[in-house]
């Protein structure tokens, strides 16, 4: 069985900039900067046969590249700290194409609203005043747009020291 997701990689210079945000919040469990990415769709555990079907479906996607802009830091229910991704029609289009390809490959729809983001930390046990101070001090975070020229099928291996991600296949996008 493989634990998979479809994601957008980030360039090293952006990962470095994001890693500088990984401080100043007591109790946060920071994501390893090498694992920073934008998830288009979490798939979960599938057989190698199903993974082959997923790969074939994703390889047929035709979509254009686009600029991706990270702006703003927020949290979900004081459990996950993340950097938001600005909405872009081409990103929404790619997400819809991925969902359709996965549905044709036999996976159930994910459901829920697509909220593109980069997870910075898990917040179990972080005190609310510390979280609010962290957020207010970094409220104006914004990165320059980066060109997205492809996406990847990624395997996630859980280890005692955290998750390790490994690209299984990469899919190019057309000129934006």
The pLDDT tens digits of the residues spanning 4-46 come to 999 999 999 999 999 999 999 999 999 999 999 999 999 999 9
Find the CATH number of the domain harbouring 62. 3.90.1140.10
In angstroms, the CA 100 to CA 49 distance is 19
Transcribe 58-73 into DSSP letters. HHT---B-EEE-EEEE
The predicted pLDDT at position 175 comes to: 82
Does residue 176 have a pLDDT over 80?
Answer: no
Cβ(14)–Cβ(70) below 8 Å: yes
* Residues spanned by the domain of 128: 2-172
The pLDDT tens digits of the residues spanning 136-151 come to 999 899 999 999 999 9
**Domain tally, the chain:** 1
């Amino acid at each position: 069985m493989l634990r998979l997701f479809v994601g957008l990689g980030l360039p090293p210079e952006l990962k470095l900039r994001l890693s500088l945000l990984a401080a100043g919040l007591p109790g946060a469990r920071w994501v390893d900067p090498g694992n920073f990415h934008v998830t288009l769709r979490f798939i979960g555990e599938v057989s190698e046969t199903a993974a082959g079907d997923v790969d074939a479906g994703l390889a047929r996607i035709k979509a254009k590249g686009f600029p991706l802009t990270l702006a703003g830091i927020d949290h979900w229910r004081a459990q996950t700290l993340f950097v938001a991704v600005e909405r872009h029609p081409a990103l929404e289009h790619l997400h819809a194409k991925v969902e359709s390809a996965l549905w044709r490959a036999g996976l159930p729809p994910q459901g829920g609203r697509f909220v593109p983001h980069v997870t910075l930390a898990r917040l179990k046990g972080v005190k609310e005043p510390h979280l609010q101070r962290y957020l207010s001090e970094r409220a104006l975070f914004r990165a320059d747009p980066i060109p997205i020229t492809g996406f990847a099928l990624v395997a996630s291996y859980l280890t005692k020291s955290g998750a390790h991600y490994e690209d299984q296949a990469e899919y190019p996008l057309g000129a934006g």
